Amino acid sequence: MNANNNHNSKVNDFPEAPASWNTKYVDPNGFECQITLRGESGSELLEKAANAVHYLIDNGCTPYVYYRNGTRQVESKGNEGKKDDVLSNGTDNPAWCPIHQCEMRRWDKDGRVWYSHKADGEWCRGK
């Protein structure tokens, strides 16, 4: 035992998995959850991740979406089956705010459609 070290452990006592995958999701009751998968190779892990995503979706879970201002939009149970939010953040996504780097909510009224979100207490339309 070393005088500066109170334990006699080796570096490999607690080896890390070569690959890991972590994601957050919201369960059907609205609880924010997190899951971590580990694998011996990237291809094994990608297969596990694909299976996990399918399982979560098939059981009513939804992706957890983080917004830069520290809040996240909570979907009400009354909006089930409605595609109000687009989850990709590509540049061709009309729901993506390039100013605040977050998803905006889809609104429609009298045949008009627009996207907006609140930032610093004010409405932003991403323009």
Residue 99 lies in a domain: yes
Residue 29 lies in a domain: yes
Residue 4 lies in a domain: no
Taken in order 29, 32, 38, 42, the sign of the CA dihedral is positive
Task: Give residue 36's pLDDT.
Answer: 93
Q: 21 and 57: one domain?
A: yes
Name the residue with higher pLDDT: 2 or 98: 98
Instruction: Tell me the residue length of the chain.
Output: 127
> Cβ(61)–Cβ(27) under 8 Å?
yes
The whole-angstrom separation of Cα 18 and Cα 4 is 30
Query: What type of residue is 100?
Result: H
pTM, entire model: 0.45
- Please give the angle made by the CA atoms of 28, 29 and 30, to the nearest 5 degrees: 90
Cβ of 22: how many Cβ atoms within 10 Å? Answer: 10
Q: Torsions phi, psi of 82, nearest 5?
A: -95, 130
Residue 49 lies in a domain: yes
Owning domain of residue 113? 83-124
The string of pLDDT tens digits covering residues 67-77 is: 655 555 554 44
Confidence grade of residue 84 (pLDDT, cut at 50, 70, 90)? very low
Q: 51 and 90: one domain?
A: no
